Each structure stands twice: as structure tokens, then as C-alpha cells.
Amino acid sequence: MTDAGWDDQRARAALRRLFDTAVAAADPRSVLARHLPPKPTRGRVVVVGGGKSAAVMAAALEDAWPDVPLEGTVVTRYGHAVPTRRIEVIEASHPVPDANSERGARRLLERVQDLGPDDLVLALMSGGASALLAAPAAGLTLADKQAVNRALLACGANITEMNAVRKHLSAIKGGRLAAAAAPARVVTLAISDVPGDDPAVIGSGPTVPDATTFAEAHALVARYGLTLSPAVAARLRQDADETPKPGSLPHTEFRMIATPMMALDAMAEAARGLGLTPLILGDALEGEAREVGTLMAGIARSVRAHGVPVRPPAVLLSGGETTVTLGSGPTGTGGRNTEFLLGLGVALDGAAGIWAMAGDTDGIDGMDEIAGAILTPDSLARARAKGVDPRASLARHDSHGFFGALDDLIVTGPTLTNVNDTRAILIA
């Protein structure tokens, strides 16, 4: 053992345990049932939903209410379906919508038609629903929506900004699904993957009133210099077709069943069991991934050298959603978690006694089936020994390639939940 009992093997095992703890804390199969409303005694129970956790949430609902007649449809990402008995599951594309995204969204709108005040709509929402439920507004095509999604993903806009635009191009987002279900009671059960847990941002809020406006969406497009098709530009000028505003959906109720802070609290408890002092820095950290990594490196160095703001052995925990802004040059493969780690590693430059993990709790960092990675004190040295330049990898956003060369990627497959990114920096 080195560094007061912490060696590479022990640190790696601890970080992986913390990641697995975060995922388990948000598993719908263990948390959904306790948030259900009382079982209805009359009327229909219609289930609708979207997101990477939608299918497993539907299965958990069926298990919790085996004696309640359930009907409905949920839309999830390809590879995220699980067997269900009464609720239809449609798989679609994420993060860029496809034809099934449109078909699924239209199916949800069909499901809530012609309901009465005695009927109950259970909406199961989780991260990814924005892309998975893509019903273009009148005058738009799926190709229009796909082009806007790609542009928003590449420009560096945060999730709140992206959703403000997407809501105003949609027939289902921004409260429109709940409006279509009136006068039925709508109860939304949600897993939050967004900073601040704003219900209106999760999945672009299909069942939640929308405080954003066409004017704001148009301003965001201008701010990021996005090129729009004529149809999209015309749509963003249709102020008369605003989304439902706060106070306009009195028949709706929203319940959060899992959040990033719940996952961080579970990680903190696990850390104490591992002999580490946890410090939660926040569940809503945003910013350019590599720059957040540089900032975190400074905090980790302070802990290591001065015991401030926490005495080692300690672990710095954080959640939220950083961004990666792509330039015009060639790029590799990566995601915001591995880019954060590479930025952290470059800033630490091999500092002793500091390990780190960053991963997306849905098991997908960026466009690849990679959850995240682990950074060690010797990551940069091992990379250089293999002919991999850390700074060059960071410059071309090739963080998956960098950590893949070291065999330090975290690969879980679909976890079927999503409370956003989780990061842990272990200081011995």
C-alpha cells in the first residue's frame, strides 16, 4: 500500500463502487412504487411516457399495480426496452430523433384523446424524452427537427436553452401533451437528469406548463448563430401558438422519484463506508467540460496540500451536465464526462494521490456506448508511453480514444435510469 493505505487498485475499486451506487439509487424498480398516487377506483388508467428509463418505469408500474387495468404507450431509446405485459413500448433514436420518435410521440397524443374527468393519465418521464418524443409542430418535418437538434448539440447550448427551442417546434412538448389530455387528471412521475431538477426541462416538459416564449427561442437561435430552414424560421415567428403557460394546467401534478442529489447523497454514504470524507460540491454544475475539469483540479490540489476545503482521505462529489463545444477542425470520439476527466488530468499533470471518475448514469457518454472513465495519477504518463498525446487528444475532443488506449473506460451497457452525470475525485 502507498499513500496512507490508498493504492491504485483500491482507489479504482472505490470509484467504481461510487458510480454503481449512484446508478442503483435511481433504479425505477426500487423507487417508483412509493411515489404512486392512490389506486383509482373508477375511470381508465392511461400510461404515457418517454425517456431512457421509460420502459423500465412502465415495467415497475405494472409490478406495483398488478390488479389495475393499465393501457398506454411509452417511448425509449434503442436497446433500452424491457418486457412489459400491458403497456406498449416503442424504441426510437437518441440524441437525434428518427421516424420512430415521431411515431411514438403521435401515439402518445392519440392515447390521451377523448378522456374524461374520472380518467387518470400516468406520465413516466426521464432524460432523453426530448429527442425520443419528436412530434413536429404544424408546418415542420422530422428533418427540420433533426437538423435543429444536431445544431443545438454542436453549438454548446445547455439543456435548458436547447429545450426552450425544441418546445416551440413541437406538438407535444412544453405542456402540450397535458393540454391534450384535459380534463383527465395527469400525474407525472419523473427521473431528473437536469441541473436544478426543473420539471419544465425534463424531457422538455410534455406535461408541465412552459414559461419560455417564442421570442426567447428565437433569441437563442440568434445568440448561437444557428442556420435555420425557412420552415423553422417561420415557425419561431408564430407567437399566437404559444405553449401552455404557468397556471393553465390545473389538472396536472408532478412527482420527482429520483434526482441527481439523491444519487450524490447515496454516493456520500458509500464513501463514508470506504473510509473517505465526502464533500458534495453540488448537483447542478455546468460549463465547458474541460474548463470544469481545470477548476476541479485546483480544488483537488488544495485538498491534497492544505486539507482545504476538506481533509483527506476525501472524495469530492458533483453532478450536473457540462457541455462540449466542437470547433471546425477534425474531432475524435468523446463525451462530456471523459472530456472533463481529460481536462482534469492535463491540469493535474500527474499529481500524486489523486484519482477521479466521471460517468453518465444512463451508461452513455456522448454518442458511444461508454458511460465514462477513470483517471489515475499515472494516466498521462501511460498515455505518452503508448504514443498518445494528452493535450492533442483534448484539442480534438478525442477523450474516448484517450481513455480507451489506457483501457480505463467504464462500460456498463444501458443502465435504464438517468440522473445525469456523476463525478468523484478521490484524494489520498
Query: Cα–Cα distance between 97 and 16 in angstroms, integer?
Result: 32
168 and 209 together in one domain? yes
Task: Verify that 67 and 195 share a domain, yes or no.
Answer: yes
Structure pTM?
A: 0.86
Residue 66 sits in a domain whose CATH number is 3.40.50.10180
Same domain assignment for residues 313 and 244: no
User: Residues 61, 206: one domain?
Assistant: yes
Instruction: Look at residue 121 and tell me if it is in a domain.
Output: yes
Q: For residues 173 and 167, is the Cβ–Cβ distance under 8 A?
A: yes
Residues 98 and 217 occupy one common structural domain: yes
Long-range CB contact pairs, 152-157, < 8 A, 24+: 152/224, 152/226, 153/95, 153/96, 154/325, 154/326, 155/224, 155/225, 155/226, 155/325, 156/224, 156/288, 156/323, 156/324, 156/325, 157/220, 157/224, 157/323
Same domain, 127 and 248: yes
Domain count, the chain: 2
Q: What is the CATH number of the domain that holds 393?
A: 3.40.1480.10
Question: Are residue 392 and residue 272 in the same domain, yes or no?
Answer: yes
- Given 243, 258, 273, the domain boundary residue is 258
Domain containing residue 143: 29-258
Domain ends where: 204, 238, 258? Answer: 258
- Domain final residue pick, 241, 258, 275: 258
Residues 227 and 99 in one domain: yes
Residues 251 and 265 in one domain: no
Q: How many residues does the chain have?
A: 428
Residues 88 and 177 occupy one common structural domain: yes
Residue-level pLDDT, tens digit, the chain, 428 residues: 456 689 999 999 999 999 999 999 999 999 999 999 999 999 999 999 999 999 999 999 999 999 999 999 999 999 999 999 999 999 999 988 999 999 999 999 999 999 999 999 999 999 899 999 999 999 999 999 889 988 998 898 888 898 899 999 999 999 999 999 999 999 999 999 887 899 998 999 999 999 999 999 999 999 999 998 999 999 999 888 999 999 999 999 999 999 999 999 999 999 999 999 999 999 999 999 999 999 999 999 999 999 999 999 999 999 998 999 888 787 899 999 999 999 999 999 999 999 999 999 999 998 788 999 999 999 999 999 999 999 999 999 999 999 999 999 999 999 999 899 999 999 99
